[in-house]
Amino acid sequence: MTQQSLEKLLRPSSIAVIGASDEPTKVSGRPIAYLKRYGYDGQIYPVNPRRDEVQGLKCYPSIGAVPGSVDVAIVAIPATAVIQTLNHCADAGVASCIIFSSGFSELGEEGGAVQREITNIARRSGMRVLGPNCQGVFSVGARATPTFASAFAQGELTAGPGAIVSQSGAVAAMLYQLLGNAGSGIQYYVATGNESDVTVADVMLDVVRDPEVSVVLGYLEDLKDPEGLARAGDVARQEDKPILVLKSGRTAEGKAAASSHTGALAGDDDAVEEFFHKHGIVRVGDLIELAAFSQMFGQRKRAVGRRVAVVTNSGGLGVMVVDQCKELGLEVAVLQPETIAGLEAMLPGFASAANPVDVTTQLLFDPRLLSRAVPLLMDDPGVDAVLASFGALGGGYDIDAIIGDLAQANDDHDALLAVGWVGAHEDTIRRLGQRGVPAAQNPSLTVRSLAAYVQFSLDRADAVRSGPSATTRGIAADVSTTNPGPASVPSAADVIAAYQPLTVDGFLSEYNSKRLLQELSVLQMSDVLLAPTSAGSSDLALPDFPVVAKASSPAIPHKSDHGLVVLGIPDHETLETVVKELTSRAEDIAPGTVEGVLVQEMVEGGFEAFVGVKRDATFGHVVVVGAGGIFIEIFSDYQCVLPPITYEYALAKVEALKAFPAMAGARGGEDADYEALARLVVEVGRAVEYLGDALLEMDLNPVKVLPKGQGVAVLDALVKLGEPLATPTP
């Protein structure tokens, strides 16, 4: 059955509470208490066979007895009764359920089995299910509060442009509190719990389209729904809204044991990082940053450049803020002479009118100084953002005037404004936030959030200027793993069927790896395979001497560990001897698996790189491109790319390698053909999509990046094939 949209879950006209309690502080009593407290004007149906009335409302004995249609049914009953209740809900035509109850997959396999049944009910009936083990929803616009979150029991609602979407209720509550402290607030608060049906991504995809929402804050422990997240990221780009995500489990030891170089090198978090980057989702480091970034990213203004003017009451603080700006890629604005003249006219002689602008204790004696100085800076055509950095503003300072002047300047000007105020009262920070000025007590945090916002703004502007971005095009292409490959190539299934019999433990020999990749147009092979018997025949089209010879066997994937590679063979005669030796040595190691000896051109020089593929449990195939050689491994110089891959995106990844300057001819070195390396990445990405799940690993290592115009030479290749995995590749 088709799944319904989340419209009724997130903006319900009627809410039933199954297991409703008369006690407004109990978990099963809170939703009704909150609905009343926040003025919900839809229908409320308490359901409880043991009561006629709950919290002053008529109570129904079962969900089937409820007279009207039900958009949301809250399930707040013991875990053991949940399945039956859900079936009743589905039968009664309930649009969506929110299961508060815990005791499912979080308890291990037994609970997991029950939870899978929940998923089945949802899939079968089309009814959407949030949870189990979730705090539920607060939907501000609808004044709908099907939640038991303690955060809403007291105090005022802090409404604002944010949407909190979190797998954890406690984390959602912390974020809500932090936003409130920062003078910001929410339109949605959704805790998805165990995600038997509705995921964080599903909710994001809905709320990001709400005109009242200008920033989405996500918290994820598991990436259960990468496809959905990718879509949410793409829609957020269309809507020109930011999605900020905090993903925990960064250092989890999830590195799968892998036989290939690539698999061992790139950790799982690299793929996560690349996934967010590709889909324009901004990843933050911790909760405090997420809340601070929310304020910065939730504003209507975008940055148009990196040039920052700092205004401060302390020269020392000004220097530190400038340091941090430079470290994070912001630039120190050079002020126009008129701006400096204007500042000098309003500042005492010992103050600094250069950037950073130090207004000194003059601010004590001239409380409205900022009402003149900040607009002057924001009007300067060389200034894209103003960082107001204060500290030690004790007794005597007119805090109201400072807040008011900053807020006014922010309202009146296009340049960005952000405040870092050491030792400010929490109330000062909140009031600035309420007036729309991003502010924090920690100037470093302000600089970090400004720097991230500038980068985000410029990336978005780039995407607009250059039409659909590389990433968007990649997604728009919607190349699924079942798409037909190039017309000249047989079906993937046929190719795999042809090569699978040649594998040992999944591995193809170098020769067959290259042959497969040649068939998929990834490379052109000039290598020659000499059968053991043909060694002496000189009529084969061998490469020019000197040559390289390698024993070829699928059972010996790491040939050089076994002395099965011989370099610099000068002539026919030597080759003949080497072929015999290699064949016999390889036969000793893996009898009956030796295909022959592979003879290759000896490639001298070039920049050593590698291209590989690993499988990630969440994202499927990840293509990895990096600098080669032993030292480079130590310096972890590689980039992950998720297929489908456009040339522009691959090139950007190659350019992002730390060793790129060396490839691009730094220190008078030769310019290497790094464009060819980028093309190889694209081709590998295509091959990967074509082969689909059957491709387990691929290593092209080393790849020699030759001088400009001469392309790349793939010196070794290793492909591992397997059965398609159970997990579907997104």
Which positions from 41 through 80 interact with a second copy, judged by CB under 8 A?
Answer: none
* From candidates 49, 68, 78, 285, binder to a second copy by CB under 8 A: 285
CA 358/CA 315 separation, integer angstroms: 6
According to DSSP, residue 12 is labeled -
Max distance between CA atoms of the chain, in angstroms, equals: 101
- SS3 assignment for 631-665: HHHHCCCEEEECCCCCHHHHHHHHHCCCCHHHHEC
CA 224/CA 226 separation, integer angstroms: 6
Is 395 one of the binding residues for a second copy (CB under 8 A)?
A: yes
CA 154/CA 726 separation, integer angstroms: 47
Which is closer to a second copy, CB of 11 or CB of 559? 559
**Could you tell me the two tokens for 24?**
């407004």
**Least distance from a second copy to the Cβ atom of residue 422, Å:** 5
Is 399 one of the binding residues for a second copy (CB under 8 A)?
A: no
Q: Do 94 and 16 contact (CB within 8 A), yes or no?
A: yes
**Least distance from a second copy to the Cβ atom of residue 151, Å:** 6
Which is closer to a second copy, CB of 288 or CB of 461? 288
> Any idea what the Cα angle at residue 123 is, between residues 96 and 19, rounded to 5°?
35
* From candidates 66, 95, 98, 151, binder to a second copy by CB under 8 A: 151
Which positions from 84 through 113 interact with a second copy, judged by CB under 8 A?
Answer: 102-103, 106-107
Name the residue with tokens 């954890």. 168
Is 315 one of the binding residues for a second copy (CB under 8 A)?
A: yes
**Least distance from a second copy to the Cβ atom of residue 199, Å:** 16
Is 567 one of the binding residues for a second copy (CB under 8 A)?
A: no
**Least distance from a second copy to the Cβ atom of residue 722, Å:** 26
Which positions from 417 through 436 interact with a second copy, judged by CB under 8 A?
Answer: 422-423, 426
Which is closer to a second copy, CB of 551 or CB of 672? 672
Q: Do 684 and 613 contact (CB within 8 A), yes or no?
A: yes
**Could you tell me the two tokens for 127?**
């009814």
Q: Do 32 and 72 contact (CB within 8 A), yes or no?
A: no
Closest C-alpha among 444, 96, 448, 51 to residue 244 = 448
Dihedral of alpha carbons 527, 628, 625, 498, sign = positive
Is 314 one of the binding residues for a second copy (CB under 8 A)?
A: yes
Which positions from 577 through 596 interact with a second copy, judged by CB under 8 A?
Answer: none
CA 309/CA 253 separation, integer angstroms: 43
* From candidates 188, 219, 511, 638, binder to a second copy by CB under 8 A: 219
**Least distance from a second copy to the Cβ atom of residue 721, Å:** 27
* From candidates 251, 337, 709, 726, binder to a second copy by CB under 8 A: 251
Is 221 one of the binding residues for a second copy (CB under 8 A)?
A: yes
Residue 272 φ/ψ, nearest 5 degrees: -60, -45
Is 388 one of the binding residues for a second copy (CB under 8 A)?
A: no
- Residue 552 to residues 374, 565, 698: CA-CA distances in angstroms? 72, 10, 17
Is 158 one of the binding residues for a second copy (CB under 8 A)?
A: no
Is 362 one of the binding residues for a second copy (CB under 8 A)?
A: no
* From candidates 18, 377, 627, 642, binder to a second copy by CB under 8 A: 627
Which is closer to a second copy, CB of 330 or CB of 691? 330
**Least distance from a second copy to the Cβ atom of residue 155, Å:** 8
Taking contact as CB under 8 A, which single stretch among the options 44-52, 160-168, 235-243, 566-574 is the one that binds a second copy?
160-168
47, amino acid identity:
V
Closest C-alpha among 412, 397, 329 to residue 360 = 397
**Least distance from a second copy to the Cβ atom of residue 239, Å:** 27
Is 631 one of the binding residues for a second copy (CB under 8 A)?
A: yes
Is 248 one of the binding residues for a second copy (CB under 8 A)?
A: yes
The C-alpha R_g of the chain, in whole angstroms, comes to: 31
* From candidates 50, 300, 350, 544, binder to a second copy by CB under 8 A: 350
Q: What is the DSSP string of 577-633?
A: HHHHHHHHHHHHHSTT---EEEEEE---SSEEEEEEEEEETTTEEEEEEEE-SHHHH
Is 171 one of the binding residues for a second copy (CB under 8 A)?
A: yes
**Least distance from a second copy to the Cβ atom of residue 329, Å:** 11
**Least distance from a second copy to the Cβ atom of residue 248, Å:** 4
Residues 6 or more apart whose CB falls under 8 angstroms from that of 210 comprise: 141, 163, 187, 188
Is 444 one of the binding residues for a second copy (CB under 8 A)?
A: yes
Which positions from 174 through 203 interact with a second copy, judged by CB under 8 A?
Answer: 174, 177-178, 181
Which is closer to a second copy, CB of 135 or CB of 646? 135
Which is closer to a second copy, CB of 103 or CB of 126? 103
**Least distance from a second copy to the Cβ atom of residue 133, Å:** 9
Q: Do 378 and 415 contact (CB within 8 A), yes or no?
A: yes
Is 392 one of the binding residues for a second copy (CB under 8 A)?
A: yes
Q: Phi-psi bin for 220: left (phi > 0), alpha (psi -120 to 50), beta?
A: beta
**Could you tell me the two tokens for 602?**
């000896």
Residue 134 φ/ψ, nearest 5 degrees: -130, 160
Which is closer to a second copy, CB of 322 or CB of 586? 322
**Least distance from a second copy to the Cβ atom of residue 468, Å:** 33
Buried b (16+ CB within 10 A) or exposed e, 385-403: bbbbbbbebeeebbeebbb
Q: What is the DSSP string of 301-359?
A: ------EEEEEES-HHHHHHHHHHHHHTT-EE----HHHHHHHHHHS-TTSB-SSSEE-
* From candidates 48, 125, 167, 428, binder to a second copy by CB under 8 A: 167
Which is closer to a second copy, CB of 234 or CB of 716? 716
Is 351 one of the binding residues for a second copy (CB under 8 A)?
A: no
Question: Residue 699: helix, strand or coil by DSSP?
Answer: strand
**Could you tell me the two tokens for 306?**
């990196």
Q: Do 440 and 389 contact (CB within 8 A), yes or no?
A: no
**Least distance from a second copy to the Cβ atom of residue 101, Å:** 11
- Lay out the site mask for a second copy across 652-691 (x = CB under 8 A, - = otherwise): ------xx-xx---xx-x----------------------
**Least distance from a second copy to the Cβ atom of residue 149, Å:** 9
* From candidates 1, 400, 464, 635, binder to a second copy by CB under 8 A: 635
* From candidates 87, 120, 434, 442, binder to a second copy by CB under 8 A: 442
- Residue 349 to residues 318, 338, 357, 365, 575: CA-CA distances in angstroms? 18, 17, 13, 15, 85
Tell me the number of residues near a second copy by CB under 8 A: 72
Residue 318 φ/ψ, nearest 5 degrees: -60, -45
CA 346/CA 343 separation, integer angstroms: 5
Is 605 one of the binding residues for a second copy (CB under 8 A)?
A: no
Which is closer to a second copy, CB of 113 or CB of 476? 113
Taking contact as CB under 8 A, which single stretch among the options 322-330, 431-439, 544-552, 689-697 is the one that binds a second copy?
322-330
Name the residue with tokens 């590998």. 684
Which is closer to a second copy, CB of 476 or CB of 666? 666
**Least distance from a second copy to the Cβ atom of residue 362, Å:** 13
Taking contact as CB under 8 A, which single stretch among the options 453-461, 469-477, 580-588, 622-630 is the one that binds a second copy?
622-630
Closest C-alpha among 187, 215, 220 to residue 201 = 220
Which is closer to a second copy, CB of 112 or CB of 506? 112
Is 565 one of the binding residues for a second copy (CB under 8 A)?
A: no
**Least distance from a second copy to the Cβ atom of residue 376, Å:** 22
* From candidates 39, 394, 467, 501, binder to a second copy by CB under 8 A: 394
Closest C-alpha among 29, 122, 42, 26 to residue 83 = 122
